[in-house]
Structure 1
Amino acid sequence: MRRPGPSVRPTRGWRLPRSRGARAAASFAAHNTQIPLWSDHTVRQVRSPPTGSLAPGPSLTDVVRPCAGVLASLIASPHRVARSTCGCGVSTRAPVATREGPDVATEPSWAPVDRVPTYQLVLSRIEEQLVSRSLRPGDKLPPERELAAMLGASRPAVREALRVLQAQGILKSSVGTGADSGTVVMSAPSGALTHLLRVHLAVASFPLSDVVEARVMLERFSAVSAVQSGAIDGAALDGILTAMEREDIGQDEFNELDTRFHVAIAESGGNRLVADLTVAVRESSRTDIHAALTADPEWGDVRSTLRAEHRAIAGALTDGDGPGAADLLEAHIRGFFRYMRQVGVAADPD
């Protein structure tokens, strides 16, 4: 006689919609006695412990039936299962309908969400296209109305994001019709990058000692590269230094010429990015340098020192001594930083 095994069915209330696989497994469980491979006459002989006689064991059909029921339940409710044992004695996972009680419930967490203006989200999406090179210089952006529809944003938000990129020199908008109208990606000139970096460095509140270290690194590289490339314009450097040696020169003009001297060396190095970074770093400390120059009304000594150092740097460059010029530049930058600390402009330590 067939001993029916336990039938495991998904508990109501947790059942997912039954798929084709679930219906097939359920049909398999309900009709597994008709499997041709397994017959009721296939009997496993086991020895009875009391008498030692042989007794018929469970048929394979009896073993398969409960397992098939578990399989149907697993397919029908795969998301709510717990450890169980079917009729074959094999530990399986069968679905259960358990809910977390009060003893295991956790308090809900209601953390504030970040409030990001929509135009910043639009700006980030456009920047992603630029960084991934999906948008290149010369490409046109979709019209404002279409761009707002594609991004799911309002037209004012799109307009504000475009204005930010226009202010950075990345986009250019032209009103009208024709090939030249619309919003176009620009090949930003070096001046736009320098201006942007200068402003960010000025408001980032970096310690002045960090700015000095960056200047030393960049200008040493520029000095060596300028000599290697042979692009040093000795006449231009001499003209700047001659103007700096006028007796009636004021601090403002002296500071302006000092900036031109260092920028000329950076641009002679042949690396546009290093040159732009050098200009931005130098410009970000312009106010501090000017404050140091005007701290002492009798600034004749510091002026004479700076003139002599500039002449030595220019001489090493024109003589083709790149490493020597780099060492002189570093000593010049660090020496003036020490002076700035002495007059109280730079308070942070080395």
Structure 2
Amino acid sequence: MPESTTRAWRTVLEHIETDLLEGRLGPGDRLPSERDLSADLGVGRSSVREALRVLEVMGLIRTATGSGPQAGAIVIATPTGGLSALLRLQVAAQGFPLADVVKTRLVLEDAVAAALAADPDRDTGEAHRILAAMDSEALTSGEFLALDAQLHLALAEASGNAVIAAMMAGLRTAIESYVQAGAEAIADWSVMAARLRAEHRALVAAIDAGDVESARELVRTHITGYYTAAGLTRAPSDRP
């Protein structure tokens, strides 16, 4: 694609992104027509179509041809939803190195635990519902770990930080794939499941008690402990 064309569709993308971020556009709103965007921004209609295609792939808009109330481009998600979709596409396309996933989880979930524990108005109701579901002895390792990922995402969403929640949602596929692979290397899954249940409950209890430092330490130990036990990463003492 020629550089001038690339700049043109990025101009359209940045214009729509700004309207979304500044609240001039939101879910349910209709974007201006291709003709109007082309005239207002001084770009070709092909550049407008390319920008809309990118936004649709990211899950931010829905486009429909024809005429009537359902035609044109309509916003269906906020920018955070688009971030999740973009990360999921990146994971699907090439994945992320495990070491990077672990480091990112430590940064994000440390912030989540601290924010929730420090918030007197926290709502951990969804986390408790997932904890109860994880108590079932009939769960396979795959089902258990899917609930595990759901629990961590629920805590991120409860933290109130929309960017962190979007990043955790986008990385969920990568997180699940690695923890599922690790489960195959664990000799006694029932013992590991009991350990994870206890760690989850201790973490949520620390958050509910408002103990910021304990919550941060528990989530970090929980994350690194599983990856180490599954042989996916080395223990801290084994690192040079």
Q: TM-score range by the shorter chain?
A: 0.7 to 0.9
Aligned length: 230
Separation in 2 of the partners of 1:284 and 1:120?
Answer: 30
Residues 81-160 of structure 1: matches in 2 within 5 Å?
Answer: 115-116=1-2, 120-133=6-19, 136-137=24-25, 138=29, 140-144=31-35, 147=38, 150-152=42-44, 155=46, 158-160=48-50
Q: Which residue of 2 aligns with 1:317?
A: 207
Q: What amino acid does structure 2 have at the position aligned with 1:290? A: Q
Q: What amino acid does structure 1 have at the position aligned with 2:179? A: I
Separation in 1 of the partners of 2:125 and 2:169?
Answer: 21
Q: What amino acid does structure 1 have at the position aligned with 2:129? A: G
Alpha-carbon offset, residue 264 of structure 1: 1.7
Instruction: Identify which range, 266-275 or 199-208, moves more after superposition.
Output: 199-208
Q: What amino acid does structure 1 have at the position aligned with 2:33? A: P
- RMSD, aligned α-carbons: 3.4
Separation in 1 of the partners of 2:72 and 2:125?
Answer: 45
Structure 2 vs 1, CA of residues 212 and 146 (structure 1 numbering), >3 Å: closer, same or farther?
closer
Structure 1 SS opposite 2:184: helix
Question: Of the two structures, which has the highest relative contact order with CA contacts closer than 8 Å and spacing of 6 or more?
Answer: 2
Instruction: Identify which range, 325-334 or 279-288, moves more after superposition.
Output: 279-288
Contact map agreement 2:110 2:216 (CA 8 A) in 1: yes
Structure 2 SS opposite 1:183: strand
What is the TM-score normalised by the length of structure 1? 0.56
Q: What amino acid does structure 2 have at the position aligned with 1:266? A: A
Structure 2 SS opposite 1:172: strand
State whether structure 2 residue 167 is matched by structure 1 residue 281.
no
Encode CA deviations 1:30-61: one digit per residue, 9 max, x unaligned.
xxxxxxxxxxxxxxxxxxxxxxxxxxxxxxxx
Structure 1 runs not aligned, ≥5 long = 1-114
Identity, % of aligned pairs?
Answer: 30
Alpha-carbon offset, residue 170 of structure 1: 2.8
Alpha-carbon offset, residue 335 of structure 1: 0.8
What is the TM-score normalised by the length of structure 2? 0.77
Structure 2 runs not aligned, ≥5 long = none
Structure 2 vs 1, CA of residues 239 and 142 (structure 1 numbering), >3 Å: closer, same or farther?
closer
Q: What amino acid does structure 2 have at the position aligned with 1:238? A: H
Alpha-carbon offset, residue 187 of structure 1: 5.0
Separation in 2 of the partners of 1:221 and 1:132?
Answer: 27
Q: Which has the higher helix share?
A: 2
Q: Which residue of 2 aligns with 1:217?
A: 107
Encode CA deviations 1:201-222: one digit per residue, 9 max, x unaligned.
4545543122211111111111
Contact map agreement 1:119 1:161 (CA 8 A) in 2: no
Instruction: Identify which range, 279-288 or 168-177, moves more after superposition.
Output: 168-177
Instruction: Identify which range, 212-221 or 234-243, moves more after superposition.
Output: 234-243
Q: Which residue of 2 aligns with 1:169?
A: 59
Instruction: Identify which range, 168-177 or 213-222, moves more after superposition.
Output: 168-177
Separation in 1 of the partners of 2:106 and 2:91?
Answer: 16
